Amino acid sequence: MSVLAAFVLPHPPIALSAVGKGEEAKIQSTIEGFRQVAREIAVLQPETIVISSPHSPLYGDAFFVSDNLREQGDFGRFRAKEVKIDVQTDIEFVQALKRSNRGFLVGSSEIPDLDHGVMVPLHFIQQAYPNFKLVRIGLSMRPFDTHVDIGKTIRDVAQTLDRRIVFIASGDLSHRLAHDGPYGYAKEGPRFDKIIQSVLENGDFEKLRSISAGMCEQAGECGYRSLVILSGVVEGMGFSAKLHSYEGTFG
């Protein structure tokens, strides 16, 4: 099996002690979820991790894929420049995605550094398992089914190359869960999160189709499209679903 596992991971920089400076204690369930996933990945020993991030370049009609030979970044934006990520790109996988002619826009971003949607998950993963190459993918404004097809293409490329991969859908859920939160409250926020929790607990990805673009916008989410890609990656595969943790501590 080329796709060893797929995970949905959030990307709160505050989860890093160098950023949180004690505030990370409020999201210990999330941090333990990161560590558990990292341990599982270490057991699986993938050759490549493919990660989609809502904070990588976003295009209206294409999916960005980085072809940098190495991917690097730090948390300087979050006052923790000393925390760095450095990982080699799986260029063969990137070029195979390009040849698929499925809407991938392969190139270097105008902002070459890794975004926190990639770096936060990798920070925890590399602590347990540093021996992988990376493929990072941006999202698109294209329709639901196109994102599903992109996931299928990722799976097909892994099979063609006989590459052992783990797919990670990076994304946060609603940012509008509390009146005193940084983005305020919207009734769609808890509704959105409840649907996604059900999807992740039961592996029922068809429920994603019940979420409208309007609900996504009002909920203030940044994980929906990544999750739709993941649904394509695992479609037709036998899998079991497990929800490691869910927290909305900071609204």
**Higher pLDDT, residue 229 or 181:** 229
Could you tell me the strand order of the sheet in which 104-107 lies?
A: 3-9, 165-170, 48-52, 133-137, 63-66, 104-107
Q: What does pTM read for this prediction? A: 0.96
Burial status of residue 102 (CB atoms within 10 A of its CB: 0-12, 13-18, 19 or more): middle
What string of H, E and C letters represents the secondary structure of the chain? CCEEEEEEECCCHHHCHHHHCCHHHHHHHHHHHHHHHHHHHHHHCCCEEEEECCCCCEECCCEEEECCCEEEEEEHHHCEEEEEEEEEECHHHHHHHHHCCCCEEEECCCCCCCCHHHHHHHHHHHHHCCCCEEEEECCECCCHHHHHHHHHHHHHHHHHHCCCEEEEEECCCCCCECCCCCCCECCHHHHHHHHHHHHHHHCCHHHHHHCCHHHHHHHCCCCHHHHHHHHHHHCCCCCCCCCCCCCCCCC
pLDDT classification of 208: cutoffs 50, 70, 90: very high
pLDDT at position 29: 97
CATH class of 3-172: alpha beta
- The CA-atom distances, in angstroms, between 188 and each of 12, 208, 212, 221 are 21, 15, 11, 10
Q: What average pLDDT score do residues 13-28 get? A: 97
pLDDT at position 105: 82
pLDDT at position 1: 67
Q: Are strands 104-107 and 80-88 parallel, antiparallel or unpaired?
A: unpaired
pLDDT at position 203: 94
Percent of the chain with pLDDT over 70: 98
Q: Indicate whether 159 pLDDT > 70.
A: yes
pLDDT tens per residue across span 28-77: 999 999 999 999 999 999 999 999 999 999 999 999 999 999 999 999 99
Q: What average pLDDT score do residues 140-168 get? A: 97
> What's the mean per-residue pLDDT of the chain?
95
Q: Indicate whether 139 pLDDT > 70.
A: yes
pLDDT tens per residue across span 77-136: 999 999 999 999 999 999 999 999 888 888 777 667 999 999 999 999 999 999 999 999
CA distance 175 to 182: 8
pLDDT classification of 231: cutoffs 50, 70, 90: very high
pLDDT at position 169: 99
Residue intervals of the chain classified under CATH 3.40.830.10 are 3-172
